[in-house]
Amino acid sequence: MIEQLNQFEGESLAKLNALNDSESLKAWKGEVFGKTSLLSTALGELGKLPKEERPLVGKRVNEIKQKLTAAFEEKDYAAKAADLEKELRSEPYDVTLPGRPVTRGRLHLISQTVREICDVWAEMGFQVYRSREVETDEYNFELLNIPKHHPARDMQDTFYTTVPDVILRTHTSPGQIHAMREYYPDPIRVVLPGMVYRYEQITARSDIQFDQIEGLAVGKGIRMSDLKGTLTDFARRIFGKGVRTRFRSDHFPFTEPSAEMDIECFVCGGKGCAVCKRSGWLEILGCGMVHPIVLKNGGYDPKVFSGFAFGMGPGRIAMLKYKIEDIRYFWGNDLRFLSQF
C-alpha cells in the first residue's frame, strides 16, 4: 500500500508540474482529491490492512495530502495571477473616462453652530466644560433651587428612567453645579454645550431632544453689568458689530435677578416682520445672576462670591439665522436639507 501511495504522489506531482492554466488545475484537483482517488480509497480500506500497517498508511496519506495541497496552491496562485494579467491586457482601462464623483461629508448645521458659539466664548476666555446627559433629580432640579412640586418642573417635562431619581437632563444647567463643585474655590468661566431631553409633543417648534449651551462665570465682585456687557459682546461677535440688544426681566429659579436677552431682528432690521412676529426683536437666551442658594449648593459662599449664568439653544439660533421654519428638519436626515449648510 505504501508503495502505491508513493507512486501516486510522484505521478500526481509530475502531472501538476506540467499544468499551467486554472482550468486544468481544477480538473487535476478533482482527480487527486476526489472520492475515487487513491487518497480517499486508501483511507476507506484501512480496516482491511494488517494492524501494524494501519497507522503508517494513515500518516502517509496525510503527508501526501499536505504536500499536494501546498504544491497545488502555489501553482493555482500563479495561474490566477496570469489570468488576471491577461484580462487586464485584453480590456485596457480608458483613463480619459470621467471618474465617479466623490461626495464629501460635512458637519451638521447644529454642530457647526455649536462650534461657532463655543469658539466665540473661547475667545472671551470661557472654557468648554462637558457634563453628563443622564442626571439625578437632585442635580437637574433640587440643587438648582427647583424643589419638588415647583411649577417650573411643569415647563420641563421630564424623561424618567426605571431607576428612581435618575432622569435625562432637561437642560444643561445641572452642569453648573458639577463645574462649581469641581472648580471651588477658583474663579469659573465655562460654557457647557450638550444635548437635553424633554418629554414633549414633537411639533414644528419643539422636539424631544435638542442642544443647549449653558454659560457660567463665578468669582468675586461679578455684577449684573458684567453679565450685560459680556452677553452684548457675545451677540455682536455672533450676529455682527452693529446688532442692538435688549434685556427684559424674566424669572428662573436658579438666577436672581433673571432676564432674557433679545437682539434686534436681523431680517427686518427692527421694523417688524413675520420672523420676529412684528415685534422687531428676537429672543436669544435666558440669563441672570446665579441665585445665592445655587452658589451655596456649588460650594461657593454667596457672601464672598457672585456670578452670572446664561442658557441658549443653538438650534433656535440656527433657525433664526437661516430662516428654518420647522425644527424637525434637524433630525430628519434629509440630505436635501442638510447639504445646504
Q: Pick one of 42, 109, 213, 287: the residue that binds ligand DAH (CB under 6 A).
A: 287
Closest CA to 277 of 256, 292, 262: 262
**Cα 153 to Cα 141: distance, rounded to the nearest angstrom:** 8
Does the footprint of ligand DAH cover residue 197 (CB under 6 A)?
Answer: no
Tell me which residue has cell 501526501.
Answer: 64
Minimal distance in Å, beta carbon 309 to ligand DAH?
Answer: 4
Report in angstroms how near the CB of residue 312 gets to ligand DAH at its nearest: 8
In sequence order, which residues have a C-beta less than 8 Å from that of residue 232 and are 6 or more positions away? 245
Are the CB atoms for 131 and 172 separated by under 8 Å?
yes
Q: Is 192 in the site for ligand DAH (CB under 6 A)?
A: no
Counting Cβ atoms within 10 Å, is residue 181 exposed (0-12), middle (13-18) or buried (19+)? middle
Comparison of 257 and 270: residue with beta carbon closer to ligand DAH: 257
Cβ of residue 103: shortest distance to ligand DAH, in angstroms?
37
If binding is defined by CB under 6 A, does position 214 make contact with ligand DAH?
Answer: yes
Residues in region 79-138 near ligand DAH by CB under 6 A: none
> Which of 12, 113, 255, 306 lies at the binding interface for ligand DAH (CB under 6 A)?
255
Nearer to ligand DAH, 24 or 136 (CB): 136
175 binds ligand DAH per the rule CB under 6 A: no
Considering the rule CB under 6 A, would residue 210 count as an interface residue with ligand DAH?
A: no
Selected binder of ligand DAH within 197, 239, 252, 330 (CB under 6 A): 252
CB 320, min distance to ligand DAH, A = 17
Q: Sketch the per residue contact string, 22 through 61, with ligand DAH: x for CB under 6 A, - otherwise.
A: ----------------------------------------
Query: How crowded is the C-beta side of 74, counted as CA atoms within 13 Å?
Result: 9
**Between 34 and 147, whose beta carbon lies closer to ligand DAH?**
147
Residue of 230, 260, 246, 237 whose CA lies nearest to 117: 237
Cα–chain center distance at 23: 50
80 CA to centre of own chain: 43
Nearer to ligand DAH, 32 or 298 (CB): 298
193 binds ligand DAH (CB under 6 A): no
Write the DSSP symbol of residue 171: S
Q: Return the residue of 140, 158, 173, 230 that touches ligand DAH, per CB under 6 A.
A: 173
Query: Does residue 328 contact residue 202 with C-beta atoms inside 8 Å?
Result: yes
The neighbouring-strand residues paired with 260 are 248, 286
Instruction: Name the pairing type of β-strands 134-136 and 127-128.
Output: unpaired
Q: Within 299-318, which residues bind ligand DAH (CB under 6 A)?
A: 309-311
Neighbouring C-beta atoms of residue 218, cutoff 10 Å: 26
* Residue 41, CA distances (Å) to 14, 31, 36, 38, 337 in order: 21, 13, 6, 5, 69
Q: Which residue is nearest to ligand DAH (CB)?
A: 311
> In the stretch 133-172, what mask flags binding to ligand DAH with x, by CB under 6 A?
--------------------------------------x-
- Closest approach, Cβ 253 to ligand DAH, in A, equals 9
Give the binding site for ligand DAH (CB under 6 A): 171, 173, 214, 252, 255, 286-288, 309-311
